[in-house]
């Protein structure tokens, strides 16, 4: 890697809603990879997900609230950018299309595609995943402990995948939606500003609490 190359993390998700597990993953990646920039990219339409997410605008706003507090963190003072590129590109949000567009727009930046550890086993089902392995550095952030060595081995077989050891915050978007729909407390699962936004806009009413 050239010395002057900028390390940019790319963290995509439905973020329906973003939660403390996502924020923790982002924080670990910034610190362990010394990222100068981190792009947070809500999907317009997630591949392989059948249920509709909350509207894009609301997920974008929740990402602003969840991730901008990480601005300036890490050794390089990471810059956080919440990106609407997948809305701009339109259609189903295949990650290879997003990465290719980002590479065009950001010459001189090296892209690190961040995913949760569990997602790594599913990664070979992604559209053109072999191209993604060539055109970005895939980083799976995973819990050390049971199964970690297997994951490192799986990553080695795929090639060009880093596995970053991390503590993991046990929370899922499905669970947050279910709790919000039932009127239960979500303050331990999402940043406070996200909890306030969900409540104020009644985002996960019972109608939208279905599994995704
Ligand atoms: P999800 O729908 O899993 O998002 O999508 C993640 C990204 O994968 C999006 O950018 C999709 O476009 C892309 N994708 C998925 C499938 C196929 C293709 C692309 C394709 O191109 O063919 P979620 O909001 O559910 O999760 C976002 C990320 O956060 C995921 O990587 C997930 O593993 C991770 N995560 C956690 N990490 C740490 N602690 C937790 C987590 N919960 C979810 N508690």
Q: Is 187 helix (H, G, I), strand (E, B) or coil?
A: coil
Residue 80 CA to residue 69 CA, distance in Å, equals 9
Distance, in Å, from the CA atom of 72 to the CA atom of 30, rounded to the nearest integer, reads 10
Q: Is the CB of 197 under 6 A from ligand 1?
A: no
The pick from 9, 18, 22 for probing ligand 1's pocket by mutation, whose C-beta has the most ligand atoms within 8 angstroms, reads: 22
Q: Which atom of ligand 1 is nearest to the CA of 20?
A: 44
Domain 6-201 CATH class label? alpha beta
Q: What share of the chain is helix, strand, coil (3-state, %, to 5)?
A: 45, 20, 40
Q: How far, CA to CA in Å, does 179 sit from each of 57, 65, 117, 171, 203?
A: 22, 20, 24, 12, 12
Report how far ligand 1's centroid is from the alpha carbon of 123 (Å): 10
Atom of ligand 1 nearest to the CA of 25: 38
**For residue 166, how many other CB atoms are within 10 A of its CB?**
20
Indicate the pLDDT class of residue 49, thresholds 50, 70 and 90. confident
Mean pLDDT of the chain: 94
**What pLDDT, on the 0 to 100 scale, is given for residue 210?**
47
In what helix (H) or strand (E) does residue 40 lie, and over which residues does it extend?
strand 37-42
Residue-wise pLDDT for 102-135, tens only, equals 999 999 999 999 999 989 999 999 999 999 999 9
> With bands split at pLDDT 50, 70 and 90, how would you rate the model's confidence at 48?
confident
Minimum CA distance residue for ligand 1 atom 7: 13
Q: Are strands 37-42 and 109-116 parallel, antiparallel or unpaired?
A: unpaired
What distances in angstroms separate CA 124 from CA 120, 158, 198, one per listed residue?
A: 8, 9, 34
Task: Answer whether residue 29 shows pLDDT above 80.
Answer: yes
Average pLDDT for 64-85: 98
Choice among 33-47, 61-75, 143-157 with the minimum mean pLDDT: 143-157
Residue 63: both structure tokens together: 């990402």
- Prior bond of 43 cis (ω within 30°): no
Question: Could you tell me what percent of the chain has a pLDDT over 70?
Answer: 95
Given a contact cutoff of 8 angstroms between Cβ atoms, the answer to whether 36 and 7 are in contact is: yes
Q: pTM for this structure? A: 0.95
- Domains of the chain: which residue ranges? 6-201
Tokens of 187: 């303050």
């Amino acid at each position: 890697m050239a010395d002057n190359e900028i390390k940019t993390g790319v963290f995509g998700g439905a973020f329906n809603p973003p939660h403390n597990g996502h924020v923790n993953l982002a924080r670990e990646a910034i610190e362990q990879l010394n990222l100068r920039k981190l792009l947070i990219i809500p999907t317009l339409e997630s591949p392989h997900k059948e249920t509709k997410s909350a509207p894009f605008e609301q997920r974008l706003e929740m990402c602003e609230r969840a991730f901008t507090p990480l601005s300036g963190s890490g050794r390089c003072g990471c810059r956080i950018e919440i990106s609407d590129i997948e809305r701009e590109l339109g259609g189903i949000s295949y990650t290879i299309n997003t990465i290719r567009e980002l590479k065009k727009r950001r010459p001189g930046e090296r892209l690190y595609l961040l995913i949760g550890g569990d997602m790594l086993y599913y990664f070979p089902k992604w559209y053109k995943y072999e191209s993604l392995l060539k055109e970005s550095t895939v980083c799976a952030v995973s819990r050390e402990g049971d199964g970690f060595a297997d994951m490192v081995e799986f990553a080695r077989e795929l090639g060009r995948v880093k596995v970053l050891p991390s503590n993991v915050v046990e929370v899922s978007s499905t669970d947050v939606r279910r709790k919000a729909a039932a009127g239960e407390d979500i303050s331990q699962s999402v940043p406070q500003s996200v909890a306030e936004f969900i409540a104020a806009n009644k985002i996960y009413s019972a109608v939208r609490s279905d599994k995704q």
